[in-house]
């Protein structure tokens, strides 16, 4: 079985929240005992996912920066990444417009993730619209959001596209895939999975499409899903 999971909102509560180490060790035990290949698929950087993979004892590739890149611990290198990045010019454009009201996530190599603060926005969807309007003339970008950040990626990048690349490269059968996610940018990879699940904290879009929505939040919802599919 191949299990693809988002991280923030699924294996953790999100940025700056402590990991539930006991729950993570439960995940490690189930994955090891059931011989499940766990593939992390996150908006986070390679360095963050390397650390989490080490904690869980994973040697499987992981999908970084919302599908912009795939890193393989066994080869110690990216096996999939964009041919170019426009991060510096994107950041300069956004800073020129919003100044000190923009908060960028650090350590991104291929994408830009941010939040807008102090501008009267009442939802992340309103922040998304503002960024989309600012960058609308740039056809080479795809702007989306998770539950925690606005994500700006090279066009043609997504978690689903990255998963399709891995599935082809590894020769995985479609009926071996299971998926777990909580936000809109997980949707395309969840649709590729035979069985999909979500924690109780998922958004309404994900709730309406997954096969199994747990009654539990975050990593406890993930463990519940694990027990459901095995």
What are the pLDDT digits (tens) for 28-80? 999 999 999 999 999 999 999 999 999 999 999 999 999 999 999 999 999 99
pLDDT at 213 over 90: yes
Beta strands in 41-194 (DSSP E): 62-64, 69-72, 77-80, 102-104, 112-116, 141-145, 150-154, 177-180
Q: Has domain 87-154 been given CATH number 3.20.190.10?
A: no
Q: What is the pTM of this model?
A: 0.91
What's the CA dihedral at 129, 89, 72, 74 to 10 degrees? Answer: -150
Query: How far is Cα 151 from Cα 49, in angstroms, rounded to an integer?
Result: 17
Topology given in CATH for the domain delimited by 2-82+157-229: Rossmann fold (3.40.50)
Domain spans in the chain, listed from the N-terminal domain onward? 2-82+157-229, 87-154
pLDDT at 201 over 90: yes
Predicted confidence at residue 230, as pLDDT, reads 85
Q: In what order do the strands lie in the sheet with 37-40?
A: 37-40, 2-5, 177-180, 195-198, 212-213
pLDDT in tens, 90-114: 999 999 999 999 999 999 999 999 9
């Amino acid at each position: 079985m191949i299990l693809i999971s988002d991280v923030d909102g699924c294996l953790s509560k999100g940025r700056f929240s402590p990991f539930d180490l006991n729950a993570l060790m439960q995940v490690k035990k189930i994955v090891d005992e059931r011989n499940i290949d766990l593939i992390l698929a996150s908006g986070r950087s390679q360095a963050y996912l390397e650390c989490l993979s080490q904690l869980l004892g994973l040697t499987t590739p992981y999908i970084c920066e919302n599908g912009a890149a795939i890193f393989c611990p066994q080869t110690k290198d990216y096996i999939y990444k964009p041919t170019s990045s426009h991060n510096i010019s994107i950041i300069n454009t956004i800073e020129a417009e919003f100044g000190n009201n923009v908060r960028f996530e650090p350590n991104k190599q291929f994408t830009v993730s941010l939040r807008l603060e102090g501008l009267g926005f009442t939802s992340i969807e309103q922040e998304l619209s503002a960024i989309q309007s600012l960058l609308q003339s740039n056809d080479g970008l795809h702007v989306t959001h998770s539950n925690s950040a606005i994500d700006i990626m090279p066009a043609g990048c997504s978690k689903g596209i990255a998963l399709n690349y891995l599935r082809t490269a590894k020769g995985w059968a479609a009926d071996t895939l299971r998926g777990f996610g909580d936000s809109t940018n997980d949707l395309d990879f969840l649709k590729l999975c035979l069985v999909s699940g979500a924690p109780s904290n998922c958004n309404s879009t994900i709730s309406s499409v997954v096969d199994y929505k747990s009654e539990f939040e975050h990593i406890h919802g993930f463990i519940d899903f694990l027990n459901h599919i095995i």
